[in-house]
Amino acid sequence: MSDAPESTTAESKPEPAEERDYAIVIFKVAAYGFIACFGLLAIAWVVFRVGVPSPARVCDHKMELALKEAEGSSSPAVQNMLDRLRDHCVEDKRRRIQLRGQVAYWKYARCVLSSETFADSELC
């Protein structure tokens, strides 16, 4: 038995199974990142452009609900409410988009369009 240290000049090469090709790993990570970013952008486009109801559509729905509830009565108070609603609705919705942003308006518009009564739409 010799007390001599093992040869340090001979480097051990890793086995081919242990060797990693980092270029492929980096390419895969970049591809998955690109796909994720593109997917998020596509979802955002659908939500913000396609899925957001127009202020006119929201106002039309509110008018339909108000007219449905006011069908039997023709009092001056009801007519006054309908006139005010008709005059200021679209402007109010556009102002709501500017002040609160697209996401808040989208939630509000979805709530209004899914409501069955005028009182429910006012709670949104």
Structure token pair of residue 58: 């929201």
Query: Which of 105, 78, 79 has its CA nearest to residue 92?
Result: 105
Q: What residues have CB less than 8 Å from 68, skipping those under 6 apart?
A: 118
pLDDT-derived band at 34 (thresholds 50, 70, 90) equals very high
Tell me the torsion sign for CA atoms 56, 60, 61, 66: positive
Q: Is the pTM of this model over 0.75?
A: no
pLDDT-derived band at 106 (thresholds 50, 70, 90) equals confident
Classified as helix, coil or strand, 1 is coil
Of all residues in the chain, the percent with pLDDT exceeding 90 is: 19
Q: Is the confidence at residue 5, as pLDDT, over 60?
A: no
Provide the residue ranges of all domains of the chain, joining segments of one domain with +. 19-51, 54-124
Greater model confidence, 44 or 49: 44
Greater model confidence, 62 or 19: 62
Count CB neighbours of 69 within 10 A: 13
Helix residue ranges per DSSP H, 46-75:
55-69
